[in-house]
Structure 1
Amino acid sequence: MSEIISEQAQPCEEVQLRDFDLNLLTVFDAVMQAQNITRAAESLGMSQPAVSNAVARLKMMFNDELFVRYGRGIQPTVRARQLFGPVRQALQLVLNELPGAGFEPATSDRMLSLSISSPLDIRLAPKIYNVVAEHAPNVQLRLNSCLDNNIEHQLRYQDVEFFISYKEFDNNAFCSDVLFQDEVVLVCSSSHPRTRSLNNREMYLKECHAVVNFAQVGSFSAEFYSTTEARRTIVYQANDLSSAMNIVSQTEMVTLAPRWLASEYMQMLNITLLPVTWMENTMKCYLTWHKSADKDRAHQWLRTLLNHCKSSL
């Protein structure tokens, strides 16, 4: 028994960074982003065999396969996904301290990519474009309206750097700031025969509803139609609120929309806006990014810029 205790009491050998080739971490980061050895080699300016050799050494270093073949590319293992965030943050912290590695908005030609869910793209895309152009004229901004349910994957691997939507991610791998809150109103045709009675939940649920497709990530309508009872009244699913309001203006359907958007369409469509009093009538707009980009100075700059400008967004 004493021999067993003596063996268990032996101290573990201390891990020393000098025992590892830390250059391999830049290869790991590139392969994780590219999910392809050839493309990773191109981005690193290395040969494909050299990257393959580095990946083999990484597998030994972390005692895990890290990457497995998937179609024409490769797919990271669970362990690789766990490592990606911490490794990327560590590399970014080092990169930030290197000479000439800082982010200078006035001169940088860095590309920044944002996805904005509907209908926020209508409101925010031109404002973000203009404010970035004012403060960083050479930055290449790429904006797109998000219909892709793969947004978490895109954020994780930096295909998209920011996501703006009404959706709050229930995952501690993501960070977010609240940019503002929108008031929600009920929209119906100005000739709707029951306008005066649409002031309580019971009457609201009896109506036929037009909504934004729930399958879309960040769907504006999904949160309001989460109950089985409410789902039974849906007769039209649109790809965006503009289409839903257009249908509503010509029928006896109703829909929910942010006041700013519905107010704009009042000038073009035959619609009436009614206050929502029987449920929570505000929605928060979130700026979301993956934690692995938290220390990136370009990310920090754009987050700060949008937060400073959010009163005008």
Structure 2
Amino acid sequence: MSDVILDKTQDENIPDNTLRTRHEDNHLRRADLNLLTVFDAVMQLQNITRAAQMLGMSQPAVSNAVSRLKNMFSDELFVRSGRGIEPTARAHQLYGPIRQALQLVTNELPGLGFDPQTSRRQFSITISSPLDILLAPKILSRLSQRSHCVTLNIESLVNENLDNQLRYQELEFAIGYRGIERSDFYNQKLFDDELVLISSRNHPRIGQQSSECYYFNEKHAVVRLSNHCSFSSPYYNTPETQQRVCYQGASLISVMEIVSQTQMLALVPGWLAEQNAHRLSLKIDTLDWMNNKLTSYLSWHESASKDKGNLWMKDLLMQCAELE
């Protein structure tokens, strides 16, 4: 009895933070950390079968691991959606920290660093329109030259949740005409685009006076202004300028098609206008009287800055942009 009392007395004399640390250590030792690699693969692919193939495991083994993960985190984590599965809000919340931890361990373990010649890693990036037209073919071509194992998923649809997608590493990088102005993000300038004014070659008034005059008098077509990533939004941010807008398209390609068949005007990057001028019978005018420079940026969250795979992909993306 006295031994029991003595042990209890010793525990009572131990600081609360030390007892809490002991409890956390014991809990961590009981957790199967190998399950985290399964979680990472399932989150990336959102499909049990493909995750099993990626991990070199059987499908039942991955399903069993997912069940154990649900118990570990006291959450469903994944629910069925069509032929695949969809992560819950809790799974999205866990993904960033777990992926960062796995990447840090992988970087430090001998022989487990990122090797593009053998890695089966899949990267996801977003490139806002119209930069996707310019850069995506070059990026995919360069990737095929550098690695036959690494895969890349490119999205052109940028939404209001972009910063969270990068923070939780649902996306590794974003390329667009706007950086992310937050302290935990990095923005690397890539190159400057020069905006020009396009119109139909059959427009009855264009060419009779300076572009500044008809810019303020004619109707305009733009990429949808409600999209916060629309590069044209700053040029139509007052009631007076918005009154000139008659058409809002989902992409610059649709905007240019409309301009070619109407008497509207549009602002577009010079390289895009040159690519389509002959096909669409467009007239191109310079905009020397206004600030027509548009800077493109490569953006990423600080959590991706030390991962060797991300550093390799960042270097590849910047090399493609340097060709401009």
Please say if residues 208 and 233 of structure 1, whose CA atoms lie closer than 8 Å, have aligned partners that are also in contact.
yes
Q: Distance in 1 between matches of 2:180 and 2:295?
A: 12
**Partner letter of residue 67 of structure 2?**
S
Task: Work out the number of aligned pairs and report it.
Answer: 295
Given the superposition, is the C-alpha separation of residues 55 and 129 from structure 1 closer, same or farther in structure 2, using an over 3 Å criterion? same
After superposition, residues 74-113 of structure 1 pair within 5 angstroms as 75-77=88-90, 84-113=95-124
Identify the residue that residue 277 of structure 1 maps to in structure 2. 289
Q: Distance in 2 between matches of 1:103 and 1:67?
A: 28
**Which of the two has higher C-alpha Rg?**
2
1:18 to 25, 37, 40: 25
**1:138 CA drift (Å):** 0.8
Q: Distance in 1 between matches of 2:224 and 2:168?
A: 26
Please say if residues 221 and 249 of structure 2, whose CA atoms lie closer than 8 Å, have aligned partners that are also in contact.
yes
Given the superposition, is the C-alpha separation of residues 73 and 146 from structure 1 closer, same or farther in structure 2, using an over 3 Å criterion? closer
Q: Give CA deviations for 1:204-232 in whole Å, capped at 9, x if unaligned.
A: 34320011123556323233223333222
Please say if residues 113 and 142 of structure 1, whose CA atoms lie closer than 8 Å, have aligned partners that are also in contact.
yes
2:177 to 166, 171, 184: 166
Q: For structure 1, which runs of at least 5 residues remain unmatched after alignment? A: 1-6, 60-64
Identify the residue that residue 5 of structure 2 maps to in structure 1. none
Give the match's secondary structure for 1:218.
Answer: coil
Please say if residues 186 and 301 of structure 2, whose CA atoms lie closer than 8 Å, have aligned partners that are also in contact.
yes
Q: Distance in 1 between matches of 2:76 and 2:87?
A: 10
Give the match's secondary structure for 1:206.
Answer: coil
Given the superposition, is the C-alpha separation of residues 51 and 121 from structure 1 closer, same or farther in structure 2, using an over 3 Å criterion? closer
RMSD: 3.7
Given the superposition, is the C-alpha separation of residues 103 and 260 from structure 1 closer, same or farther in structure 2, using an over 3 Å criterion? same
**1:303 CA drift (Å):** 0.6
Identify the residue that residue 54 of structure 1 maps to in structure 2. 69
**1:102 CA drift (Å):** 1.9
Given the superposition, is the C-alpha separation of residues 100 and 68 from structure 1 closer, same or farther in structure 2, using an over 3 Å criterion? closer
Q: Give CA deviations for 1:269-299 in whole Å, capped at 9, x if unaligned.
A: 2312221523x32222122334443333222
Q: Does 1:146 align with 2:161?
A: no
Identity of aligned residues (%): 40
**1:255 CA drift (Å):** 0.8
**1:261 CA drift (Å):** 1.4
Q: For structure 2, which runs of at least 5 residues remain unmatched after alignment? A: 1-11
After superposition, residues 169-184 of structure 1 pair within 5 angstroms as 169-171=180-182, 174-184=185-195
Q: Distance in 1 between matches of 2:262 and 2:62?
A: 62
Give the match's secondary structure for 1:214.
Answer: coil
Worse overlay, 233-242 or 139-148: 139-148
Given the superposition, is the C-alpha separation of residues 273 and 285 from structure 1 closer, same or farther in structure 2, using an over 3 Å criterion? same
Please say if residues 211 and 287 of structure 2, whose CA atoms lie closer than 8 Å, have aligned partners that are also in contact.
no
**1:124 CA drift (Å):** 1.0
Please say if residues 84 and 292 of structure 1, whose CA atoms lie closer than 8 Å, have aligned partners that are also in contact.
no
**1:55 CA drift (Å):** 3.2
1:259 to 267, 270, 284: 270
**Partner letter of residue 148 of structure 2?**
N
Worse overlay, 220-229 or 32-41: 32-41
Identify the residue that residue 199 of structure 1 maps to in structure 2. 212
**Partner letter of residue 233 of structure 1?**
R
Given the superposition, is the C-alpha separation of residues 228 and 265 from structure 1 closer, same or farther in structure 2, using an over 3 Å criterion? same
Give the match's secondary structure for 1:220.
Answer: coil
**Partner letter of residue 165 of structure 1?**
G
**1:260 CA drift (Å):** 1.6
Give the match's secondary structure for 1:183.
Answer: strand
Q: TM-score, structure 2 length as denominator?
A: 0.72
Given the superposition, is the C-alpha separation of residues 214 and 234 from structure 1 closer, same or farther in structure 2, using an over 3 Å criterion? same
Q: Distance in 2 between matches of 1:31 and 1:187?
A: 47
